Structure 1
Amino acid sequence: MNIQVHDEQKTDIQAIEEVIKAAFLNAEHTSHTEHLIVKSLRKSCQLTVSILAVENEKIVGHIAISPVMISSGETEWYGLGPISVLPEKQGLGIGSLLMQTALARLKQLGAQGCVVLGDPDYYSRFGFQAYPRLYLEGVPPEYFQALSFHRHIPQGQVIYHAAFNMKNE
């Protein structure tokens, strides 16, 4: 398996949407709006990181990262997601490659840290962990996790961009 990673280009947008739809088609916890979220983030210039995994010139994975607000006023924090890998390519390390690449990019950008909503067993492999004083309203605390790049974890409510409130069309 020869996977290359690179930043999204305008010519990739339709293929990215198809990868996201396919990745979440049969997912256990999904609103089936993940592709709409990425589209809205892109349109509102809030898609800070958009990285593709490509195999044989075909997009097989994608990761999106966007800024979040924290009620305490902390800045330079970002939210990871969605992360998408074609179903037939899941379990082969593509998601891990996307995660490592995206987190490295955030560090290069001077980010303070990153939050994610998802499976604690998966995301803990990358250093994410739950901090009860940093929370996403309405979400069980163990599923909302953070990774600080500078050892400081802010306190307060995390607020994602309005794109995350998308309804399926």
Structure 2
Amino acid sequence: MSDVTVQTTSPDDYPEVANLVERAFGETGEVELISRLRENNDVLLELVARKNGILAGHILFSRVKITGKNHDAVALAPLAVLPKFQKQGVGSLLIQTAHTELVAAGETLSLVLGDPAYYGRFGYEHLRAAGFESAYQGEYLQALAFADAPSTGVLQYALAFGAL
């Protein structure tokens, strides 16, 4: 994927990101989530991928508190790839690049609410998330531990998720 570059999202990218996310999901709920996360300073990591100069994908991670354990985790949400670039490795490159940056920053646990078949390819498992209490608990809640991290506690997502 030498024609794809990944970089930190800048404010200049925001309008393009909103358009991409709306086109990828077919509605504006995730666009509103991103906006609220930014407004509340809850964005931990936000990356964009460009293929031949065209914005092709976007990924965002926000902070999750694990109450009762005095531990932090991160939530992957959302991940979006422009439909014409889907199934070309853009999403995979975004996830892998983000994971590398998160590990380097000392993060130990990532959570995602999504398709187990897709996110399982990157090591996310429901079994790893099954011990957490969460409004999102179920087979689609998955976790990936980068290092030693709790496997129980109450997940407290950023307030922006409550509006979904």
Instruction: Tell me the TM-score normalised to structure 1 length.
Output: 0.88
Residues 136-167 of structure 1, C-alpha deviation per residue, up to 9 Å, x if partnerless? 22542x21111111143430221211111235
- State the partner residue of 2:161: 164
- Distance apart, 1:57 and its partner CA: 1.9
Q: Aligned pair 1:147/2:144, yes or no?
A: yes
Q: For the structure 1 residues 135 and 101, does the alpha-carbon distance in structure 2 shift closer, same or farther, using more than 3 Å as the test?
A: farther
Letter in 1 for 2:5: Q
Instruction: Pick closer, same or farther for the CA change 1:114–1:95 going to 2, 3 Å.
Output: same
More strand by share: 2
Kept in 2, the 8 Å contact 1:6–1:52? The answer is yes
Residue identity opposite 1:145 in structure 2: Q
Q: Letter of the 1:42 partner, please give it.
A: R
Q: Which runs of 5+ in 1 are unaligned?
A: 27-31
Give the TM-score normalised by the residue count of structure 2. Answer: 0.91
1:112 equivalenced with 2:108 (yes/no): yes
Q: Aligned AA for 1:91? A: K
Matches within 5 A, 1:1-169: 2-25=3-26, 32-130=28-126, 131=128, 132-140=130-138, 142-166=139-163
Q: Quote how far apart the aligned CAs of 1:78 are.
A: 0.4
What amino acid does structure 2 have at the position aligned with 1:98? L
Give 1:109 shift: 1.0
Unaligned runs of 5+ in 2: none
Structure 1 stretches (4+) deviating beyond 6 angstroms? none
